[in-house]
Amino acid sequence: MNSTEIVELRRVIGQMRHAVSNLRTRYGDVAAVQRLANDVERMDIDATELVDLSTPRQREAPQVEREVVVVPDTPYDESLWKDADDEGLGGYRHRT
């Protein structure tokens, strides 16, 4: 977004903020006016993010904390599978 588009967007958001202020004066702080004020605020936040995006900068990879989970190679305790069915394999087979 070039600078003229951003200036125009900011101008329109200012006009909407003024219109919502006039509506608040006329109707009070009813739910519909609160929602409109919230929408104008969100648009202002989004416009600010667009300004930040238009400034070239080096992208950085997000910092991710990785946890290593060790899975043992030892066999599981067979009592964990007592009365369990192997779905798709024909059901649980009892050893005799």
Q: What is the pTM of this model?
A: 0.53
Looking at per-residue pLDDT, the higher value among 52 and 35 belongs to 35
The answer to whether residues 77 and 84 touch, using CB atoms and an 8 Å cutoff, is no
Domain ranges across the chain = 3-54
pLDDT of residue 75: 86
Distant-in-sequence, close-in-space partners of 47: CB < 8 Å, separation ≥ 6: 6, 9, 10, 13
The answer on pLDDT for 70 being more than 90 is no
pLDDT of residue 88: 62
The answer on pLDDT for 56 being more than 70 is no
Which residue type, as a one-letter code, is found at position 41?
A: E
| CA R_g for the chain | 30
